[in-house]
Amino acid sequence: MKIPKTKQTENEAKRAVKEYLEYSGYTVYRINNAGGYRGKDKQGNPRFSFAGTSGVADLYVTKKGVCPFWVEIKATGKTPAPAQYDFGSDINDTDGTYWLWADSMDMFIRKFNLTFVKYRKEINIESRKTK
């Protein structure tokens, strides 16, 4: 795995996070939620339109025995848009899944270890209590 630079573009961070998770045994689905070329308008200019659901996270991550989770990736120094925060809030208000965002591989690892791993341990502790 390539060592990431301190400052990363969104695609560099996405690639690094995806590789890290896959190396750790997770299956990662990249959600390509963007617009596409739709031909030319009446003036002959290129026309693009949005073709997805606003706010949906970039990555959906699964692993047998672990609750699935969503990851929103940004370029270093950028933050999620309001629709992305809304999506994350909706996800985090449900049971059995989790959302987090990061603007670099470093931020992802910190949040993953501090937030998601802690959350996963709480889920496992609760499931053991009910058995």
The domain locations on the chain are 10-130
Question: Looking at the domain that runs over 10-130, which CATH code has it been given?
Answer: 3.40.1350.10
pLDDT over 70 (residue 3): no
Q: Which residue has the higher pLDDT, 48 or 81?
A: 81
Residue 27 is predicted with a pLDDT of 97
Q: Which residue has the higher pLDDT, 112 or 46?
A: 112
Give the tokens for residue 15. 């690639």
Show Cβ contacts of residue 73 under 8 Å, excluding neighbours closer than 6 positions: 10, 13, 14, 17, 58, 59, 101, 102, 103, 108
**What is the pairing mode between strands 46-50 and 35-40?**
antiparallel
| Sole residue written with tokens 């596409």 | 36
